[in-house]
Structure 1
Amino acid sequence: MGVSRSTLATFGILLVTAIWGSTFFVIKDAVSLVDPIDFLAVRFAIGAAVPALIFLPRLRRLTWRQWRTGLGLGGLYGFAQIAQTVGLQHTAASVSGFITGTYVVITPLLMWVAFRARLTRATWLAVLLAVLGLGVLSLTGLGGTGLGEALTLLGAALYALHIILLDRSSRSMDAVSLAIVQLIGVAVVCGILGLPGGYSIPAEPTVWGAIAYTAIVAGIVTMLLQTLAQRHLSPTRVALLMTFEPVFASAFAVAFGGESVTARLVIGGALILTATLVGIRAGQAQPADEDQAWGRSSG
């Protein structure tokens, strides 16, 4: 008996999630050698140019309104990427992975604030667990939170806002075309912000390896994998599988990034992971990840 398509799709999404998780320590190593905005500018220039050339006929059929929507969403996503990547300079890759995952909990909160969406008790429980987890992960001594954790949380909030706007403004647009136009939007934002002082990419194998990996493997390849896999899985199942991203991020950071497993990481990470699962099951975080394959969570 052959393997079912849903089983293959499940393994495909897990592979996508693992690849995204692996990018945290890869990017952290790279931005220790290069300015994070310069890194993102080159990464997304490559990540946008390759699929744009491949799918050029599709892009030519888009209207100006569709281009404006996609570029706007991509610009917002670009600022999220910048906040998260700069944050990685100041916090551990494993911690960044878990904090980034709070976008699942932040999304319904923003819906509640902006659109008065009703929140269930389970959603409020998820918020409480996420706050506790963030406190454990980011508390430094008796002081407040660190810069890296704060920037990463800002990035997660921007990801959540992107999800809401994407869900409300992209229903009439081809998914692949929208993903590519958003990539172009990210490249434009990062390119403009990187202009002052010019771009400086050292000829280090670590930096160029990270650029190639995040642009092609964690960007284009995962986009195609997720697009194919989601034809055979429900959005809820996909979202649940994606909660393993911070777990993979921590595993890669410990195995290859030289980070240590601490009680703070285990307890805080477990609280945030539980909050993510509760938030998804509450049904408030579903409008979401279909066009995130091109780079959510550092990937």
Structure 2
Amino acid sequence: MRALTSKQADLMLFFVAFFWGTGFAVTKIALDIYSTVQLLFIRFIIASIVSLIIFNKNIRNMNRSDLKSGVIMGVFLAAGYIFQTFGLEGTTAGNSAFLTGTNVVMVPFFYWIITKKKPVFNNLIAAILMFIGIILLTVDFKNFGKFNLSDMLTFFCAISFAWHVVVTGIFASDKNPYTISTIQMTTCAVIFLIMMILEGKPITYNFKGALSMGYLSLITTMLCFMMQTIGQKYTSTTHAAIVLSLESVIGSIFGVLFLKENYTIITILAFVIIFISILFAEVGYDWLFRTKKNRLPDKK
């Protein structure tokens, strides 16, 4: 395809954030029809089959290193979706969207563990803000000291996704992204198949459920991964991070519009704090003070 301008690439990434954001509400709807592991298996088996068909030439040329990398990525990705989807059973789409978004703040610290590259001061500020936001979301102030288990599961999902970003960044540097991406989705499908067999519940056909799964599989999984790859090729990492972080806002908005979710002032304050922490983690003070001081270098 022809090269995109920076604005066109940012627009493409906005649609990725939009579709991912709507995915939280669609998942909540699908969970009324399917069990958690059934939803995950159906979502990833469809995405895997489509990816295997489209990128079959890449898969035929894979080597042992590609397979190992894709499997490791798939394990972290599967763990993230397991925690996220189980968490969605008992929390709002908005809470899930914002808590999942905190993985962006964790990445520099996890990357530090692997590469010994210390996070900059902006990341420390972001981590503090994230912790405050998580406390506001997960602590029941009417019964102080008690935490919402579903929100905590979603936080574990963010940890898993953060590790997934780290290992993906390491493995993708010298490997075909379509190959390892397809392997990771197939790995997820196998893990969820095993879990579904152990669960032992039959899958029942439901038109509403089929529409939901089609959207989650083909749009928020298959299409979005492809659009993200293309978009980030023609725009800076800073622009991509800002645009993609809108997933959290969109997820919350759709939770209010379509799931009739209501939020308290404390919840909204938590959303704002967590969103600000994500921006601090990725672009430092640029977005607030419009200065190059403390700016994080773009990834190449």
TM-score (norm 1): 0.90
Higher helix share: 2
Structure 1: state its 5+ residue gaps: 289-299
Contiguous gaps of at least 5 residues in structure 2:
285-294
- CA deviations on 1:28-68 (whole Å, 9 max, x unpaired) are 12113321011101110011001101211111001122112
Task: Give 3-state SS (helix, strand or coil) of 2:215's partner.
Answer: helix
Total equivalences in the alignment: 285
Match of 1:280 in 2: 282
Partner of residue 163, structure 2: 161
Do the aligned partners of residues 249 and 104 (structure 1) sit closer, same or farther apart at CA in structure 2, a change above 3 Å counting?
Answer: same
The residue type equivalent to 2:192 in the other structure is C
The verdict on how the C-alpha distance between 1:196 and 1:226 changes in structure 2, with shifts beyond 3 A counting, is same
Quick check: 1:88–1:152 contact (8 Å CA) kept in 2?
Answer: yes
1:35 aligns with 2:35: yes
Which amino acid is the alignment partner of residue 176 of structure 1? Y
* 3-state SS, counterpart of residue 198 of structure 2: coil
Asked if 2 retains the 8 angstrom alpha-carbon contact of 1:39 and 1:201, the reply is no
Q: Shift in Å at residue 284 of structure 1?
A: 7.0
Paired position in structure 2 for 1:101? 101
2:261 pairs, out of 259, 262, 267, with 259
Write the distance in 2 (CA, Å) between the matches of 1:111 and 1:88.
Answer: 28
Q: Which moved more, 1:79-88 or 1:175-184?
A: 175-184
Distance 1:170 1:97 in 2: 26
Task: String of CA shifts for 1:227-277, please: whole Å, max 9, x gaps.
Answer: 222221012211111111110000111111111242122100000000000
Contact 1:138–1:149 at 8 Å: present in 2 too?
Answer: yes
**Which letter does structure 2 place at the counterpart of 1:223?**
F
Q: Which residue in 2 is equivalent to 1:296?
A: none
Deviations 1:172-194 (A, max 9, x none): 21112221111111111111121
Q: Does 2:158 match 1:186?
A: no
Normalization by structure 2: what TM-score?
0.89
Q: Paired residue for 2:290?
A: none
The answer to whether structure 1 residue 22 and structure 2 residue 22 are counterparts is yes
Distance 1:28 1:284 in 2: 36
1:201 aligns with 2:208: no
Question: What are the Cα deviations for residues 122-141 of structure 1, in whole angstroms up to 9, with x where unaligned?
Answer: 21110110011111111112
Relative to structure 1, the CA distance from residue 37 to residue 8 in structure 2 (aligned partners, 3 Å threshold; closer, same or farther) is same
Matched-pair contact (CA < 8 Å) for 2:66–2:179: no
Q: How does 1:114-153 map to 2 (within 5 A)?
A: 114-140=114-140, 141=142, 142-153=144-155
1:115 deviation in Å? 4.4
Letter in 1 for 2:212: A
Give the C-alpha shift of residue 217 in structure 1: 1.0
- 1:134 maps to amino acid: I
Map 1:8-87 onto structure 2 (within 5 A). Answer: 8-87=8-87
What is the percent sequence identity of the aligned residues?
A: 24
Q: Is the 8 A contact 1:34 1:200 kept in 2?
A: no
Q: Given that residues 87 and 153 in structure 2 are in contact (C-alpha distance below 8 angstroms), is that contact kept between their aligned partners in structure 1? A: yes
Aligned partners of 1:203 and 1:225: how far apart in 2?
A: 30
